[in-house]
Amino acid sequence: MLNRRSLLLASLAAGVTMNTTAVRAKAAQPATPVDFDVPADACDCHTHIHGDPEKFPFFAGRVYTPEPASPEEMAALHKALHIQRVVIVTPSVYGTDNSATLFGMKARGNDARGVAVIDDKTTEAQLDAMNADGFRGIRLNLATGGINDPSVGRARFQTAVERMKARGWHVQLYTNTPMIAAIKDLVLQSPVPAVFDHFGGAQAALGLEQPGFADLVELVRSGKAYVKISGAYRASTRAPDYPDVIPFAKALIEANPDRIVWGTDWPHPDSTIRPDRKPTDIAPLYQIDDGRLMNQLTVWAPDAAIRKKILVDNPARLYGF
């Protein structure tokens, strides 16, 4: 008999979207034990905190409303995965309010770093305060807002680089491979690193030859860009192991293992814009087995020394642990 969690998993595995406004499930916890030795100081480089809406109200212009995901739940996740360090990224639902992210960071102390969302009203003094709190980059979330115009992407990236170059923060982008191709020249010239979320938005079904993926590989090879091999379920519908993602992970790691980081994308928000769901309707969290997904690292990177780079050394360099 399917319960709510297995129903969500089944729908995700089949690539099916459904109106699940009434379905409520807690943020996922690993069901599968990690089957390899996780190196000390391993880092989950992509997570979010969804705080109590009474204390951390959502942005009025959001395109979805997630279920809660607390620092305590995140701590349980990382205990199960044998992960010490974490990077918490402000999700689009908060606009430029980074307080929920900071709340999560403070719960983890020196083991946490943050990636903020800012706008032209964010002052240098505010950025200085964020730096003292452990923020090390800003995020441009182009994908969730449906921004595909290259001129808009180029302008936003250039503006972000100008703001970040004096303080050495990186610019993180959630976008797609055609946009990466459109800003490639800017990334190559950038004085600060670019960090691309979730395989650069590549879609496994389109193959390695899809427009823009070769550009992403070249940027990684150049050392000017990092890529997060995270959120495999956003690149593939072939749950639970996403075998069609393997060639993408291997191509990126082979290009430059010093520019690859890994993350869970916990608590796995469903940011899909759907006609049957209002932005204020609750979008149930995807129920992903992060233990099973983490075990794919041994397939993507069979060499333990390479996994240490991905889990420990590269995050330490990028986020200043």
Low-confidence residues of the chain: pLDDT under 50: 1-23
Residue 48's domain spans which residues? 42-319
Tokens of 211: 């427009």
In a domain, 206, yes or no: yes
Kindly report, residue by residue over 247-274, the tens digit of the pLDDT.
Answer: 999 999 999 999 999 999 999 999 998 9
Q: Which of 187, 74, 195 is nearest to 136 (CA)?
A: 195
In a domain, 160, yes or no: yes
- Please report the pLDDT score of residue 143 as a whole number: 82
Distance CA 57, CA 260 (A): 33
In a domain, 7, yes or no: no
- Please report the pLDDT score of residue 116 as a whole number: 98
For the entire predicted model, the pTM comes to 0.91
Which CATH number characterizes residue 68's domain?
A: 3.20.20.140
- Please report the pLDDT score of residue 147 as a whole number: 84
**46 contacts 230 by C-beta, under 8 angstroms:** yes
In a domain, 75, yes or no: yes
In a domain, 26, yes or no: no
Kindly report, residue by residue over 273-288, the tens digit of the pLDDT.
Answer: 899 999 999 999 999 9
In a domain, 181, yes or no: yes
Distance CA 145, CA 119 (A): 15
In a domain, 239, yes or no: yes
The helix-helix angle for 213-222 and 177-189 (nearest 10°) equals 30
In a domain, 100, yes or no: yes
Reduced to 3 states, what is the DSSP secondary structure of residue 200? Answer: helix
Residue 315 has phi, psi (to 5 degrees) of -60, -40
- Please report the pLDDT score of residue 144 as a whole number: 78
- Please report the pLDDT score of residue 214 as a whole number: 98
Distance CA 62, CA 91 (A): 10
Distance CA 36, CA 41 (A): 15
- Please report the pLDDT score of residue 43 as a whole number: 98
- Report the domain count for the chain: 1
- Please report the pLDDT score of residue 204 as a whole number: 98
